């Protein structure tokens, strides 16, 4: 069943949703990256909640003009208008008052959302029955998606993606270093607004599939997951797009296999699974890699201390040290040094004493900065420098 | 409006609304100053899976297991956010976004999977709350307030919310000095030996308790709005923390009363028949207060900074 869903064989409607969700995921991942890198991931939360009153107002307007009230394009236009107003409110509150951005975000999202719910209850009492499905914008619903809706979503997603491509350079600069961007003559405020405008477009387009509460996840999670794998902006954007697309595709496919699996939450949970995997196994910044690095470092320190103890004929009591040294063939089971052990211990002692001389001599301050108790000195100095340094050691050490 | 109508139908929701607003607004002041304002938002999203799980485990909709579940979920979320932030070296906002959206999605999925549609447990309810339905049927008029038998029939949410508000107030008074010190000057608080981390954790836990109790009674919108809007508006009115907390309590109370009245009677005045969502209206009123404060408040600009032309 899942395989059929993944290969798009579950029928017309499921295919439509799956492809739409994938496109949305790609666009959301790429756009969200710039928000994340600019440390304003949660602005998307304000944007998405601010769409609700727009949806409700658009519905009321369309009904007032004798329409059906449920045209997706109309509802999305309405949501775009109020979320833009919400965005401007966040911007104004942050720049014009003493409120910090997170407070502005929280205020806007709660007030707009509250007002939207007031409007929803107005609609409910206005004409019972005809508003059916309006609440589905809260959590997304794809059951009744039509060809026209899919076209709106696909087109919107593609347009946003194109805009991201065109604006990627200025957006990167502004996200990382707004002051430099301003110095380079860019209109920072306008580029920031464009960045958020794109996030807004994604939110509006994604309302139908993921719903306004969960669209935030599609903007944030893929970007955060991608950040684990690379520190180059271009790669992060590409990866975030790929992760978002995968989450949309797989999530929609899974949800198509059973009626009790709502699309929006499943897509978000797939994205979260990708994030968890990235957090754990990413090569440079992942938890696993960090743990391995830590273990390696720990082992190095223990072995070094053990070797120094051997060289000065001190007994080793530390169990971990003994175990590590045994495994490397430096000591025998009874704790007596092997031949390699003795050789390496002598070398470690020599190295330690060279470092001591080096660090007590202000002329070598630059090289002394490399000291961490582990790095062998011969990787820092040239052989000639070493020879000069050895003059300062006693005759016994220069074996 | 006579007492015979007002006391059973409007008094309990009004009192509950006021208590919920105050209980959220007071910790909100400190969260706002510590730039943790969105914790209320995160908590109110993550209590959903807690509530659904509590329902699945106990099979009842009674309040205590629900609140336990919500509280545990809130603590789990705070822990997860911290873990993601530290393990992944991610900025706090993004870590919060990752955790609360994923947990909320999990809650919605659980809700759809379990057969909870037969009982009154759904997402809309969790968002809007049901302030209007918290009525006191045993009351006959003002005299019922002194009638022990009738008082026993009060909605239990009222007692819970009142106790929570009292708890928040007591905590705020007891820990006033350490809270104030560690909020404004963490380094100094640390040097004079205050357990800064524990104070921060205690604040978040108190906020979570207030959020969960209010969530149970009035829905998540009021929680998010009251954590931020009254304190933010109060911040524009004064530079002193004492005055700010007092202002925020006043603003929270006004929002609750005005919002409830507008939601219940406003549509009638305009000639419509049905009331609108009280929770939504309370949030809307608090937003209006904030926008007024942002436009005219005496301390709306950062201290010492020149007014932008």
pLDDT digits (tens, 9 = 90+) for B101-159: 999 999 888 888 876 555 555 666 666 677 777 777 777 777 777 777 777 777 888 88
Q: Where are the alpha helices (DSSP H) in chain A?
A: 2-6, 12-37, 43-49, 51-64, 72-96, 101-126, 136-139, 147-176, 178-183, 188-210, 215-227, 233-256, 263-281, 287-311, 319-327, 339-360, 365-368, 383-390
Q: Domain limits at B211?
A: 3-296
Where does residue A132 rank: exposed (0-12), middle (13-18), buried (19+ CB within 10 A)? exposed
Reply yes or no on whether the pLDDT at A26 is more than 80. yes
Question: Which residue does chain A place closest to B239, by CA atoms?
Answer: A98
Are A111 and B32 a contacting pair at CB < 8 A?
A: no
State whether residue A331 is helix, strand or coil: strand
| A152-198 pLDDT tens trace | 888 888 899 899 889 888 888 888 888 888 888 888 888 888 888 89
Q: Is the separation of the CB atoms in B231 and B23 below 8 Å?
A: no
Mutant choice from A121, A229, A273 vs B, greatest count of B C-beta within 10 A: A121
Question: Residue A127: its pLDDT value, please?
Answer: 62
Report the residue count for chain A.
399
**Token pair for A36:** 């994340």
**Token pair for A197:** 């405008």
A125, A227, A268: residue with CB nearest B105: A268
Predicted interface score ipTM higher than 0.95: no
B97, B221, B232: residue with CB nearest A113: B221
Report the residue count for chain B.
309
Are B300 and A111 a contacting pair at CB < 8 A?
A: no
* Sequence-separated (6 or more) residues with CB below 8 Å from residue A187: none
Q: Within a domain: residue B308?
A: no
Mutant choice from A28, A89, A97 vs B, greatest count of B C-beta within 10 A: A97
State whether residue A398 is helix, strand or coil: coil
Q: Is the separation of the CB atoms in A104 and A90 below 8 Å?
A: yes
Reply yes or no on whether the pLDDT at B27 is more than 90. yes
**Token pair for B124:** 């809309």
CA distance B48 to B43: 9
B227, B279, B284: residue with CB nearest A106: B227
* Sequence-separated (6 or more) residues with CB below 8 Å from residue A271: A25, A217, A218, A221, A222, A225, A243, A244, A247, A251, B102
Q: Once rounded to an integer, what is the mean pLDDT over residues B72-82?
A: 90
Question: Residue A131: its pLDDT value, please?
Answer: 58
Supply the Cα-derived Rg of chain A in whole angstroms: 31
B84, B102, B228: residue with CB nearest A269: B102
Question: Residue A278: its pLDDT value, please?
Answer: 94
A42, A217, A228: residue with CB nearest B38: A42
- Residue % of chain B over a pLDDT of 70: 91
Q: Is the separation of the CB atoms in A198 and A31 below 8 Å?
A: yes
Average pLDDT, chain A: 85
**Token pair for A84:** 């833009």
Q: Within a domain: residue B25?
A: yes
Lowest average pLDDT, out of A12-21, A376-385, B113-122, B282-291, goes to: B113-122
Q: Is the separation of the CB atoms in B184 and B16 below 8 Å?
A: no
pTM: 0.85
Mutant choice from A111, A224, A247, A291 vs B, greatest count of B C-beta within 10 A: A111
Q: Within a domain: residue B305?
A: no
Q: Is the separation of the CB atoms in B290 and B232 below 8 Å?
A: yes
Task: Tell me which chain B residues have a C-beta less than 8 angstroms from the C-beta of A270.
Answer: none
Task: Tell me which chain B residues have a C-beta less than 8 angstroms from the C-beta of A216.
Answer: 97, 101
Task: Tell me which chain A residues have a C-beta less than 8 angstroms from the C-beta of B88.
Answer: 224, 228, 279, 285, 287
Task: Tell me which chain A residues have a C-beta less than 8 angstroms from the C-beta of B304.
Answer: none
Reply yes or no on whether the pLDDT at A141 is more than 50. yes
Task: Tell me which chain A residues have a C-beta less than 8 angstroms from the C-beta of B87.
Answer: 279, 287
Task: Tell me which chain A residues have a C-beta less than 8 angstroms from the C-beta of B302.
Answer: 98
Which letter, b or e, does each residue of A267-292 get, where b requires 16 or more Cβ atoms within 10 Å of its Cβ?
bbbbbbbbbeebbeebeebbbeeeee
Reply yes or no on whether the pLDDT at B245 is more than 90. yes
CA dist A129 → A120, A123, A126, A149, B166 (Å): 13, 10, 10, 22, 43
| Token pair 């938002």: residue | B41
Task: Tell me which chain A residues have a C-beta less than 8 angstroms from the C-beta of B116.
Answer: none
Domain count, chain B: 1
Are A95 and B96 a contacting pair at CB < 8 A?
A: no
Question: Residue B307: its pLDDT value, please?
Answer: 47
Question: Residue A104: its pLDDT value, please?
Answer: 94
Question: Which residue does chain B place closest to A108, by CA atoms?
Answer: B287
Q: Within a domain: residue B165?
A: yes
| Residue A337, phi then psi, degrees to nearest 5 | -70, 140
Are B88 and A228 a contacting pair at CB < 8 A?
A: yes
Q: Once rounded to an integer, what is the mean pLDDT over residues A95-123?
A: 91
Question: Residue A380: its pLDDT value, please?
Answer: 76
Are A96 and B294 a contacting pair at CB < 8 A?
A: yes
Query: Can you say whether residue B203 is alpha, beta or left, with left for phi > 0 and alpha for psi between -120 and 50 degrees?
Result: alpha
Q: Is the separation of the CB atoms in A222 and A240 below 8 Å?
A: yes
Average pLDDT, chain B: 85
If we measure between CA atoms, which residue out of B85, B19, B37 comes closest to residue B233?
Answer: B37
Question: Residue B308: its pLDDT value, please?
Answer: 45
A122, A138, A265: residue with CB nearest B105: A265
Cβ count near A48 (within 10 Å): 32
Question: Residue A357: its pLDDT value, please?
Answer: 81
Mutant choice from B101, B233, B264 vs A, greatest count of A C-beta within 10 A: B101
Question: Residue B127: its pLDDT value, please?
Answer: 66
| Token pair 């205050």: residue | B194
Q: Is the separation of the CB atoms in B210 and B22 below 8 Å?
A: no
- Residue % of chain B over a pLDDT of 90: 35
Beta-carbon contacts below 8 Å between A and B: 210
**Token pair for B273:** 């028949």
**Token pair for A295:** 């273990």
Question: Residue A397: its pLDDT value, please?
Answer: 46
**CA distance to partner chain A, nearest, from residue B200 (Å):** 18
Lowest average pLDDT, out of A32-46, A117-131, B288-302, goes to: A117-131
B98, B113, B224: residue with CB nearest A106: B224
Q: Cα angle at A81 between A41 and A149, to 5 degrees? A: 85
Cβ count near A297 (within 10 Å): 12
Segment of A37-46, A102-111, A127-136, B50-59 carrying the highest mean pLDDT:
A102-111
Q: Considering only residues A25 and A10, tell me which one the structure prediction assigns the higher pLDDT.
A: A25
Question: Residue B229: its pLDDT value, please?
Answer: 95
CA distance B95 to A27: 21
**CA distance to partner chain A, nearest, from residue B10 (Å):** 19
Q: Once rounded to an integer, what is the mean pLDDT over residues B13-28?
A: 93
| Residue A229, phi then psi, degrees to nearest 5 | -95, -20
Q: Within a domain: residue B41?
A: yes
**CA distance to partner chain B, nearest, from residue A305 (Å):** 29
Question: Residue B103: its pLDDT value, please?
Answer: 94
Q: Considering only residues B169 and B269, tell me which one the structure prediction assigns the higher pLDDT.
A: B169
B88, B102, B287: residue with CB nearest A268: B102
Cβ count near B52 (within 10 Å): 27
Question: Which residue does chain A place closest to B308, by CA atoms?
Answer: A96
The CA-based dihedral angle spanning residues A12, A18, A19, A24, taken in that order and rounded to the nearest 10 degrees: 140
CA dist A227 → A26, A64, A192 (Å): 15, 47, 21
Question: Residue B309: its pLDDT value, please?
Answer: 38
Q: Once rounded to an integer, what is the mean pLDDT over residues A75-95?
A: 92
A93, A109, A114: residue with CB nearest B280: A114
Q: Within a domain: residue B302?
A: no
C-alpha A260 chain-centroid distance: 30
Are A214 and B104 a contacting pair at CB < 8 A?
A: yes
CA distance B104 to A271: 13
CA distance A57 to B213: 32
Task: Tell me which chain A residues have a C-beta less than 8 angstroms from the C-beta of B128.
Answer: 117
Question: Which residue does chain A place closest to B101, by CA atoms?
Answer: A217
| A258-293 pLDDT tens trace | 877 888 899 999 999 999 999 999 888 888 988 999
CA distance B138 to A146: 51
Return the HEC string of chain B: CCHHHHHHHCHHHHHHHHHHHHHHHHHHHHHHHCCCCCHHHHHHHHHHHHHHHHHHHHCCCCHHHHHHHHHHHHHHHHHHHHHHHHHHCCCHHHHHHHHHHHHHHHHHHHHHHCCCCCCCCCHHHHHHCCHHHCCCCCCCCHHHHHCHHHHCCCCHHHHHHHHHHHHHHHHHHHCHHHHHHHHHCHHHHHHCCCCHHHHHHHHHHHHHHHHHHHHHHHCHHHHHHHHHHHHHHHHCCCCCHHHHHHHHHHHHHHHHHHHHHHHHHHHHHCCCCCCCCHHHHHHHHHHHHHHHHHHHCCCCCCCCCCCCC
Provide the CATH number for the domain around residue B117: 1.10.3470.10
**CA distance to partner chain A, nearest, from residue B149 (Å):** 35
Task: Tell me which chain A residues have a C-beta less than 8 angstroms from the C-beta of B300.
Answer: 96-98
Reply yes or no on whether the pLDDT at A39 is more than 90. no
**Token pair for A95:** 């720049």
**Token pair for B60:** 């009842």
CA distance A216 to A218: 5
Are B280 and A118 a contacting pair at CB < 8 A?
A: yes
Task: Tell me which chain B residues have a C-beta less than 8 angstroms from the C-beta of A291.
Answer: none
């Amino acid at each position: 069943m899942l395989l059929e869903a993944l290969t798009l064989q579950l029928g017309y409607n499921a295919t439509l949703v799956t492809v739409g969700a994938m496109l949305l995921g790609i666009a959301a991942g790429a756009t969200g990256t710039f928000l994340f890198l600019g440390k304003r991931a949660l602005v998307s939360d304000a944007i998405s909640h601010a769409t609700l009153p727009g949806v409700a107002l658009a519905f009321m307007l369309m009904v007032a003009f004798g329409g059906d009230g449920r045209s997706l394009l109309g509802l999305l236009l309405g949501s775009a208008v109020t979320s833009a107003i919400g965005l401007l409110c966040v911007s104004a509150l942050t720049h014009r008052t003493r409120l910090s951005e997170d407070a502005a975000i929280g205020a806007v999202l709660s007030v707009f959302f509250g007002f939207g719910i007031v409007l929803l209850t107005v609609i409910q009492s206005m004409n019972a029955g005809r508003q059916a499905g309006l609440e589905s914008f809260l959590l997304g619903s794809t059951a009744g998606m039509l060809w026209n809706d899919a076209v709106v979503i696909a087109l919107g997603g593609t347009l946003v993606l194109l805009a991201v491509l065109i604006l990627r350079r200025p957006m990167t600069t502004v996200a990382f270093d707004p002051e430099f961007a301003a110095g380079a003559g860019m209109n920072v405020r306008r580029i920031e607004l464009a960045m958020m405008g794109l996030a807004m477009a994604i939110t509006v387009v994604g309302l139908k599939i993921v719903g306004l509460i969960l669209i935030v996840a599609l903007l944030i999670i893929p970007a955060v997951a991608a950040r684990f794998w690379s520190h180059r902006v271009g790669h992060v954007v590409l990866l975030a797009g790929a992760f978002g697309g995968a989450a949309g595709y797989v999530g929609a496919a899974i949800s198509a296999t059973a009626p009790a699996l709502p699309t929006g939450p499943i897509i978000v949970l797939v994205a979260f699974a990708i994030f968890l995997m990235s957090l754990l196994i990413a090569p440079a910044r992942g938890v696993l890699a960090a743990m391995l690095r830590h273990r390696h470092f720990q082992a190095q320190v223990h072995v070094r201390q053990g070797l120094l103890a051997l060289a000065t004929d001190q007994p080793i009591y530390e169990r971990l040290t003994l175990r590590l040294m045994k495994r490397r063939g430096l000591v025998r089971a009874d704790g007596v040094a092997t031949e390699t052990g003795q050789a390496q211990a002598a070398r470690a002692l020599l190295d330690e004493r060279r470092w001591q001389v080096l660090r007590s001599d202000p002329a070598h301050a630059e090289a002394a900065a490399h000291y961490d108790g582990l790095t062998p000195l011969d990787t820092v100095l040239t052989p000639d420098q070493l020879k000069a340094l050895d003059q300062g050691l006693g005759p016994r050490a220069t074996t | 409006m006579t007492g015979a109508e007002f006391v059973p139908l409007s008094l309990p929701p009004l009192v509950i609304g006021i208590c919920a607003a105050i209980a959220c607004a007071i910790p909100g002041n400190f969260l706002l100053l510590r730039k943790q304002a969105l914790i209320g938002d995160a908590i109110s999203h993550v209590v959903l899976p807690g509530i659904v799980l509590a329902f699945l485990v106990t099979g009842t909709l009674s309040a205590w297991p629900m609140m336990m579940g919500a509280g545990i979920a809130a603590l789990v979320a705070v822990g997860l956010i911290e873990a993601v932030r530290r393990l992944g070296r991610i900025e706090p906002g993004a870590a919060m976004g990752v955790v609360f959206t994923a947990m909320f999605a999990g809650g919605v999925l659980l809700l759809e999977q379990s057969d909870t549609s037969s009982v009154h447990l759904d997402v809309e309810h969790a968002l809007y709350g049901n302030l209007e339905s918290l009525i006191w049927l045993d009351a006959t008029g003002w005299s019922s307030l002194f009638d022990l038998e009738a008082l026993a029939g009060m909605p239990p949410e009222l007692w819970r919310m009142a106790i929570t508000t009292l708890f928040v107030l007591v905590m705020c008074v007891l820990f006033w000095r350490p809270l104030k010190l560690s909020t404004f000057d963490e380094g100094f608080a640390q040097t004079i030996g205050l357990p800064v981390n524990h104070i921060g954790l205690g604040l978040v836990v108190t906020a979570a308790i207030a959020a969960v109790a209010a969530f149970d009674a009035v829905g998540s919108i009021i929680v998010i709005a009251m954590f931020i809007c009254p304190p933010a508006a109060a911040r524009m009115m004064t530079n002193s923390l004492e005055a700010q907390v007092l202002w925020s309590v006043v603003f929270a109370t006004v929002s609750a009363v005005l919002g409830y009245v507008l939601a219940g009677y406003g549509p009638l005045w305009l000639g419509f028949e049905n009331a609108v969502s009280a929770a939504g209206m309370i949030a809307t009123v608090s937003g209006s207060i904030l926008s007024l404060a942002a436009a005219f408040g005496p301390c709306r600009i950062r201290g010492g900074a020149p007014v932008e032309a």
